[in-house]
Amino acid sequence: MSSIARPPDPCLVAIILIVRSRTGPRLVFHYPPNPLSENRIKTTTRGGRRVSRTRTRSKNTDSSSSSESGLSSDEDEDERESQSHVGGSSVLAGRRASNFGLDDHLPAAASPAAGEPQRPGSLGSGRGSSARKRAAATDPDPEDDSGTASDRPDDGPGSSRPPWESLLGVPGSVWEKLLSPSRSWHKRRFEVGINDLALIGWPVFVREDGSWRKQRRKKQKKPRAEWDGGELGHNDSAEEGKKDEQFVTSPDLGASVASIAESLTSPTDSKRGSSSARPGKPDEPLDSEDKDHMTMFNVVFVVDPPLLEYSMRVKEIYENIIKKFAKALKWEQARTDYVWKESQHILQVRRRARETKTSTHNLYSELISQSPLARAIYTVYSSISTSKIASVSLSPDVSISLQIPPLTSTPYLTGPMDKAYPGLWLTTADSATPVDDPGADEINTPHQVLAKHFALLLLDSEAAIIKDVEASGGALAPALTHYIRCSKPTKSFAQISVSSGIPLSHIQMLSSHLVYWRRARAIPPIHQRDTYIVSPNCDLSKLEIATIAYQTAFPTYPSLPKMLSTLSGTPRPYSNFIPSKDHKEIYFTILAWLLRGGWVTQLRTFARIKVSPEVKMAVEMALRKEEVERYLSKGNPDSISVDEDSDFDDENDAAHSSSSSSLDSHGSGDETPMPSRLDPHAQLRSSHRLLDQSTALRLSSFILSPHRASPLESRWLDEIFSRFPDNPKTVQGDGNVLPDITPNDSQALHKKYWPVFLKYFNGYDAMEKICVRENLKRKLVWQVLMRLGLVTGPLGAMDLDPREQVLVSVRHW
Amino acid sequence: MIKAIFYSKFDTIEGPKVVHQVPDGAIVPSPTAPSQPPFLTFSDVSFFVIPRQELCGNLLQVCTNGYRILGYPICMKSVRYDRNEFIFNFCIVLAEEEDFSTYKSVVQKLADLMHGLEEQSGFLSRDFSKSGEGKVYSLCEMLMEDLNNYCECMIPIDELNTLNIKLFPIYPSPPPVKAWQVPLFTLRYQAFMDENWDLTMQRIVPHINGVNSVRIISVLADTDFSLTCRALRHLLYYGCLFILDIFSFSAIYAPTAQFSPTIGSDEAMQLECARYVNLRFAPHPPTGPSSPLPPSLIPSPSANGTNDSTGTAPLSSSLTDPSSSLTREESRFDAEEIWPFLGAEEDPSTSPTTPPNTLHKPAIVDGAALVELYASLKQGQSVKQWYAAHTRSLANIDIRRFITFGVIKGFLYRVHKYACATSQPAPPPRASSFTPTALSSRATTGNNTPYAVSSVSEDAPISAVARRESSRERAGSVVSGGRNGNGNGSGGAASALWDEEEEVEDEVLAKYLDGTHCFDQVCTELEMSERELTARLKRYPWEVLIIHR
């Protein structure tokens, strides 16, 4: 499923668990055993590792993709660096394509040989200049030497120091010191950087009284039940352990996660008193350290974010993973002394392994199979580093689901210069628009509660999802199953609610849950009259694989390339491609399939009202006339001309400040500045001002937000409305089209709906929304819109009156 | 903005110790600045400032109390030191949320310099001046002041050493440049180019004009292709270039979601657009508002048989310099005159968007009309078809610039075509079952413009005479086409002669037919025009589907 919703890049390199007790800090466990070289062990022999560790792909994985153009990006980088004085670090920025660039920072992470006085060229300008040199297998750089040194024990398990005692080329004792901070970091973000690696944790310290949480006695049910805290997707019962479908009491919404997490902390805290194990007082120590107590634990995530995305990536993983994982551990620690017991267990196994000279591989398999904590860390690492949902069970009682919520859609089509996420759903449908008035029943932040006019598109087959849901067996599983069965991508939540009898709020909550856990996506309901085009963001490199999958799903229908090719060309309503009524259902299924994979996107229509010079002039004349009359009635004829002029200016100013407020914001095109930018506008503005009166009147303009029109714009709108012919000469045909409406009604149709539709003519709200939201017949809506000048296809027989053609429409996703 | 700089060292008696700090009292309480509360607790971070030996020589950073400390600890070993080693660190303190990337190199450079100075003369270890005094302190002070105020510094330390630092912003690395992309300068390269520039760069820049594709540039400049790409990428990195697509009248453009926030509502952008596209501001004045098009525009790709491999229309070269028109129009620059005139009244059916010309001045294409023109671009409609439908409005508009403007501003995108071969045998020649919707191409009738004369719709792959040229000949024709702006008309006859030349092999073609190669790429790499490609695809033994994306 992660291939459908493009996940963020987690940049996860390793996870380290540090605990501190009376005897000092201890590096208990880290995973993977050999970070930054892990993915190579499988593919290359030991001897080859040095080579592969070198910086052939240093900094920028572009080079891998640039080969086709014959461009060696390493050299390119060198060149760039030699010109940019800042040097190497600048180039770190855009590295990585799809892999995790694990080797990118390896030398940087390795420590220099102790006592080596020379800076090991791990960063900055040293990088670029020596990049090519490093590409050679024999690398004189001290950092790599030290890296080798740290590998050596790995090669020869017989050496005195077991390989797992050091990490990233640095001995464990150094990490122990580095990653066990002072108490001032208690339950706060702990962030350390070494070269390009960031180490982030959320350390938890034991309280003064030796407990792990505040003693606030509010007796409630047994503590296990608390952990269904929605923000963690935390499953409280053993049976339903690993399913991320596990239902929770509050919708798992990305946006509200943090706040929920905060609010849940204290109630959770308050209940732990009832747990059997006394916090911080290990009841049954596993070995000789029985009098020892843990005073702190710190789960540190090592990430290597690209320099330019540093804060974003760090924040993402911190908020979504690190904090939640550490909180869960803290809770378990308080409840059953979990972390300390597990740590002692792990340390014991490690000690034994050192004595028996076990290989790293065997040690890790043993740890992961024996210790739930080690397994949990392993699960978090392997899932999160591949952008999946991590379903972690800390103990038979407690499990949680963690994920970094992926990006699901974007309104931006990337240019040749931008980082692209091909396959991502391209749409503006889930962006907030002006019509989404926060005061109204719609919630204007679509990710909080899914608006009722959306429909649910399942990202997997219905059967598969239902199977998962039922397997998870949570309290809400039946409701979920029922809802999934009722749900159709062609019906909005509101419609499903009516047809199935499930309350709308439940539907919204259930679908939010499915969306958050990557099982579904909220889309505007599929309709045969809507237009769909091949998404400009579709991932054609997946075409071959997708064609096969499509073939399996729809064996008797036109192939995927054929379908895409059919949807290419002049956009038409989807119904045009459906051969017959009998095919409707299957063609909707096909469309859903295409939407799911980001192959197609809906082409939507947006419109604005154009005010023609005639309208402006008419309003202007009316205004002048009113002025004159006002002054005449005041009996102050002397000042007419003067006042009229000044008043006139005011009007124009008003018009300008409202309709051309951006005239001065010259930087508005910043993201794509124009070539010739020697500011022609300074002088333009001055001349514009002089010519204001006549010019502004002679040019047509748009009303940007009709529902918040300025006084002058309102006058224009009134004028436009008044110009609609009362008895259009062309209505005759319309009566036939709408048999349920009498000809008289149809004549007045557009006049009747003008006030209703007006607010949608803002350029941001799709016309396709109108019929769903206003609960009107689609045909009627489009007929009115066409009268008003919307051109979406062949005009047909409708004869249009130019006075009504006030809309300028544009179609995009 | 640097909040503080401090110099710390390992004292054999006191342990980690802050020797100098700017501002005074920022890191540890200072008797000389009692009012300054420390930003942080030094003991919390001393392990990072003066770490274990193993971590020396690495860039270390730690966040505490809302600050981020960047340091580069150095450990020097020598018998002249107590305990035979000397550990020091110059740290920069920033606000935690501030972007620290540019300061990484500063810290490193400072560490390098100090390391060198210490090695040469014991600069640090012999500095026994009190906190807040002495050379090292004033160095820190100047460094912080200069970097915060000027983003650079040049601090002489002794007769041999100077600390030169400049803060550079860090940009994302640009993606590789493709042969079929078209670069356009964002600025006047003449203003900053000098003879010290890289030779390849010097040769290619005159050919960067928003029309020539990368491949054509390398041919015209006679430079190695990969070097050309590297030079262009370099310019891209510094934001000197845009990347456009190859403009041709058979290309398809459509609006993006950026439409409403940009051109749709921004009147300044509409003015900017009018200035950019209005033929009146072209260096060579048009022949007059009544002329449908100035002569410079006439060589159109569709009418041009010798059309180069990229499909690039060799429009008037004068139109390709974005900045040349800037200075000359100032005198007559006028808010009203900026808008292009409408063309002469023609058969009303060909100019559906014409607003009624009720005003006394010549009818103009105003901002709203420009927006309408842009809005009428859509999927499945080539520029040529679009032009045919809006001839009158576009009479005084440079089509290429009009499109380019939208692409640069991001509210238009190019709809690329991709070919995808299936395992089905090719349908009979006239069946043309693919691109079913595009097949219903509008008949471009009733137009006497050069664009419409030879109107074989590129979307309708019918009856195009295949023409193939060798690359050398084509390169030649490009040069002549670009320089002389001719080749119109004669090309058809000339190209017919080349029919005899070898055709692109099926196997060669096959690897482009997996749906991942756009027509621009295929045309550029196989050196054929789009029409040739379309015709060739019809003769491909398997069914070929065209996907517009």
Chain B partners of A764 at a C-beta cutoff of 8 Å? 260
| Number of Cβ atoms within 10 Å of the Cβ of B191 | 7
Q: Does B317 have pLDDT greater than 50?
A: no
Helix (H, G, I), strand (E, B) or coil at A242: coil
Mean pLDDT computed over every residue of chain A: 68
Could you give the CA distance from residue A721 to residue A754 in angstroms, rounded to a whole number?
Answer: 8
Same domain, A451 and A353: no
Tell me the one-letter amino acid at B498. Answer: W
Q: pLDDT confidence of B336, banded at 50, 70, 90?
A: low
* Residue A322 per-residue DSSP state: I
**Who contacts A397 (Cβ-Cβ below 8 Å, separation ≥6)?**
A224, A236, A237, A238
| Number of Cβ atoms within 10 Å of the Cβ of B85 | 17
**Residue A476: predicted pLDDT:** 77
Could you give the CA distance from residue A88 to residue A94 in angstroms, rounded to a whole number?
Answer: 12
**Residue B215: predicted pLDDT:** 92
CA distances from B100 to A194, B64, B250 (A): 13, 15, 48
Q: How far is B364 from chain A (nearest CA, A)?
A: 9
Q: Do A533 and B379 touch (CB under 8 A)?
A: yes
Tell me the one-letter amino acid at B248. Answer: S
Nearest CA-CA partner of A31 in A19, A17, A14: A14
Same domain, A231 and A190: yes
Mean pLDDT of the B33-50 span: 84
Q: pLDDT confidence of A276, banded at 50, 70, 90?
A: very low
Chains A and B: how many Cβ contacts under 8 Å?
390
CB contact at 8 A, B62 and B70: no
Tell me the one-letter amino acid at A76. Answer: D
Same domain, A289 and A359: yes
**Residue A745: predicted pLDDT:** 52
B146 or A252, higher pLDDT: B146
Chain A partners of B233 at a C-beta cutoff of 8 Å? 71, 76
Which two structure tokens, joined as six digits, stand for A440? Answer: 């109204």
Chain A partners of B264 at a C-beta cutoff of 8 Å? 608, 702, 763, 810
CA distances from A456 to A2, A254, A324, A640 (A): 18, 17, 28, 64
Between B166, B271, B545, which is nearest A561 by CB? B545
Mean pLDDT of the B467-484 span: 37
Q: Does B81 have pLDDT greater than 80?
A: yes
Q: Does A533 have pLDDT greater than 60?
A: yes
Q: pLDDT confidence of B479, banded at 50, 70, 90?
A: very low
Q: Lowest-pLDDT range, A468-477, A725-734, B179-188? A: A725-734
Helix (H, G, I), strand (E, B) or coil at B138: helix
Quick check: is A770 in a domain?
yes
For residue range A57-99, what is the model confidence (pLDDT) as tens digits? 333 333 333 333 333 333 444 344 333 333 333 333 333 333 3
**Residue A8: predicted pLDDT:** 63
**Residue A454: predicted pLDDT:** 87
Same domain, A161 and A195: no
A215 or B290, higher pLDDT: A215
Between A412, A614, A678, which is nearest B358 by CB? A614
For residue range A480-491, what is the model confidence (pLDDT) as tens digits? 889 998 888 888
Could you give the CA distance from residue B56 to residue B73 in angstroms, rounded to a whole number?
Answer: 5
The percentage of residues in chain B with a pLDDT greater than 70, rounded to a whole number, is 73
| Number of Cβ atoms within 10 Å of the Cβ of A698 | 18
Q: Does A23 have pLDDT greater than 50?
A: yes
Nearest residue of A to residue B329, measured between CA atoms: A680
| Number of Cβ atoms within 10 Å of the Cβ of B23 | 17
CB contact at 8 A, B427 and B364: no
For residue range A538-580, what is the model confidence (pLDDT) as tens digits? 888 888 899 999 999 999 998 999 999 989 888 889 998 898 8
Same domain, A269 and A352: yes
Quick check: is A768 in a domain?
yes
Chain A partners of B339 at a C-beta cutoff of 8 Å? 699
Same domain, A134 and A211: no
Residue with tokens 């520039």: B197
Q: Does A598 have pLDDT greater than 60?
A: yes
Quick check: is A589 in a domain?
no
**Residue A386: predicted pLDDT:** 86
CB contact at 8 A, A107 and B188: no
Helix segments in B392-461, DSSP class H: 399-409, 436-439, 450-453
Q: pLDDT confidence of A253, banded at 50, 70, 90?
A: very low
End-to-end CA, chain B: 45
Element containing residue A73 per DSSP (H, E) = helix A73-83
Helix segments in B206-290, DSSP class H: 214-221, 225-237, 267-277
Q: Do A702 and B54 touch (CB under 8 A)?
A: no
CA distances from A21 to A278, A295, A322, B539 (A): 17, 5, 22, 78
CA dihedral A749, A753, A754, A755 (to 10 degrees): 140
**Residue A591: predicted pLDDT:** 92
Question: Which fold is adopted by the domain B2-166?
Answer: Beta-Lactamase (3.30.450)
Q: How far is A140 from chain B (nearest CA, A)?
A: 16
Chain B partners of A571 at a C-beta cutoff of 8 Å? 378-380
Is ipTM > 0.85 here?
no
Mean pLDDT of the B502-531 span: 85
Same domain, A761 and A634: no
* Mutate which: A20, A72, A86, vs B, most B CBs within 10 A: A86
**Residue A199: predicted pLDDT:** 92
Helix (H, G, I), strand (E, B) or coil at A44: coil
Could you give the CA distance from residue A612 to residue B265 in angstroms, rounded to a whole number?
Answer: 16
CB contact at 8 A, A14 and A302: yes
**Residue A290: predicted pLDDT:** 53
Q: Do B176 and A614 touch (CB under 8 A)?
A: no
Range of the structural domain that residue A189 is part of? 177-402
Q: How far is B500 from chain A (nearest CA, A)?
A: 31
A350 or A258, higher pLDDT: A350
* Residue B99 per-residue DSSP state: -
How are beta strands A409-410 and A425-426 bridged, if at all? parallel
pTM: 0.72
Q: Does A25 have pLDDT greater than 80?
A: yes
**Residue B221: predicted pLDDT:** 93
**Residue B98: predicted pLDDT:** 87
Q: Do B173 and A62 touch (CB under 8 A)?
A: yes
Quick check: is A575 in a domain?
no
Same domain, A103 and A187: no
Nearest residue of A to residue B197, measured between CA atoms: A83
For residue range B251-266, what is the model confidence (pLDDT) as tens digits? 999 999 889 888 888 8
Could you give the CA distance from residue A165 to residue A151 in angstroms, rounded to a whole number?
Answer: 11
How are beta strands A600-611 and A701-703 bridged, if at all? antiparallel
Could you give the CA distance from residue B543 to residue B537 in angstroms, rounded to a whole number?
Answer: 9
Same domain, A57 and A148: yes
CB contact at 8 A, B4 and B22: yes
Could you give the CA distance from residue A162 to residue A172 in angstroms, rounded to a whole number?
Answer: 11
B8 or B363, higher pLDDT: B8
Q: Do A80 and B234 touch (CB under 8 A)?
A: yes
End-to-end CA, chain A: 23
Helix segments in B364-447, DSSP class H: 367-375, 383-389, 399-409, 436-439
Q: pLDDT confidence of A432, banded at 50, 70, 90?
A: low
Q: Do A613 and B243 touch (CB under 8 A)?
A: no
Tell me the one-letter amino acid at B268. Answer: A
Chain A partners of B52 at a C-beta cutoff of 8 Å? 174, 177
Domain boundary among the residues A640, A668, A699 is at A699
Residue with tokens 């499915």: A514
Which two structure tokens, joined as six digits, stand for A303? Answer: 């990430």
| Number of Cβ atoms within 10 Å of the Cβ of A176 | 18
Mean pLDDT of the B188-193 span: 83
Q: Do B175 and A416 touch (CB under 8 A)?
A: yes
Q: Do B437 and A572 touch (CB under 8 A)?
A: yes
Paired with A400 in beta bridges are: A392
**DSSP notation for A449-512:** S--TT-EEEESS-HHHHHHHHHHH--TTHHHHHHHHHH--TTS-HHHHHHHH---HHHHHHHHH
**Residue B463: predicted pLDDT:** 32
Could you give the CA distance from residue A460 to residue A478 in angstroms, rounded to a whole number?
Answer: 18
Q: Does A654 have pLDDT greater than 50?
A: no
Quick check: is A686 in a domain?
no
Could you give the CA distance from residue A690 to residue A696 in angstroms, rounded to a whole number?
Answer: 11
Q: pLDDT confidence of B174, banded at 50, 70, 90?
A: confident
**DSSP notation for B344-363:** PP--GGG-TTPPP--SSSPP
Could you give the CA distance from residue A163 to residue A168 in angstroms, rounded to a whole number?
Answer: 11
For residue range A696-719, what is the model confidence (pLDDT) as tens digits? 677 888 888 888 888 888 888 888
Q: How far is A542 from chain B (nearest CA, A)?
A: 9
Q: How far is B138 from chain A (nearest CA, A)?
A: 24
Helix (H, G, I), strand (E, B) or coil at B266: coil
Q: How far is A605 from chain B (nearest CA, A)?
A: 10
Q: Do A612 and B333 touch (CB under 8 A)?
A: no
Quick check: is A508 in a domain?
yes
Total domain count, chain A: 5
Nearest CA-CA partner of B71 in B155, B115, B8: B8
Q: Does A769 have pLDDT greater than 80?
A: yes
Q: Do B549 and A112 touch (CB under 8 A)?
A: no
Instruction: Spell out a b/e string for B255-283, using b for 16 or more CB atoms within 10 Å of the CB, else e.
Output: bbbbbbbbbbbbbbbbbbbbbbbbbbbbe
Query: Phi/psi zone of residue A331: left (φ > 0), alpha (ψ -120 to 50 degrees), beta?
Result: alpha
Element containing residue B130 per DSSP (H, E) = none
CB contact at 8 A, A808 and B367: no
**Residue B219: predicted pLDDT:** 93
Q: Does B4 have pLDDT greater than 60?
A: yes
Nearest residue of A to residue B229, measured between CA atoms: A71
Q: Do B515 and A540 touch (CB under 8 A)?
A: yes
A311 or A143, higher pLDDT: A311
Same domain, A398 and A434: no
Residue with tokens 């320089």: B483
Q: Do A676 and B267 touch (CB under 8 A)?
A: no
Which two structure tokens, joined as six digits, stand for A509? Answer: 């909550």
Mean pLDDT of the A612-639 span: 80
Q: How far is A464 from chain B (nearest CA, A)?
A: 31
Between B230, B260, B514, which is nearest A79 by CB? B230
Q: How far is A304 from chain B (nearest CA, A)?
A: 14
Quick check: is A507 in a domain?
yes
Paired with A192 in beta bridges are: A199, B62
Which two structure tokens, joined as six digits, stand for B346? Answer: 């023609």
Q: Does A310 have pLDDT greater than 50?
A: yes
Q: Do A428 and B77 touch (CB under 8 A)?
A: no
**Residue A435: predicted pLDDT:** 58
Could you give the CA distance from residue A558 to residue A567 in angstroms, rounded to a whole number?
Answer: 12
Mean pLDDT computed over every residue of chain B: 75
CA dihedral A82, A83, A87, A93 (to 10 degrees): -120
Measured CA angle at A298 (ends A18, A382), to 5 deg: 85
**Who contacts A14 (Cβ-Cβ below 8 Å, separation ≥6)?**
A30, A31, A32, A35, A36, A167, A168, A301, A302, A381
Residue with tokens 């807040």: B132
Same domain, A252 and A329: yes
Q: Does A738 have pLDDT greater than 50?
A: no
Element containing residue A715 per DSSP (H, E) = helix A711-723
Could you give the CA distance from residue A458 to residue A519 in angstroms, rounded to a whole number?
Answer: 6
Residue with tokens 């855009």: A94
Nearest residue of A to residue B415, measured between CA atoms: A536
Q: Do B268 and A663 touch (CB under 8 A)?
A: yes
Q: Do A112 and B170 touch (CB under 8 A)?
A: no
Between B65, B186, B413, which is nearest A675 by CB? B186
Tell me the one-letter amino acid at A109. Answer: A
CA distances from B373 to B229, B369, B394 (A): 35, 6, 9
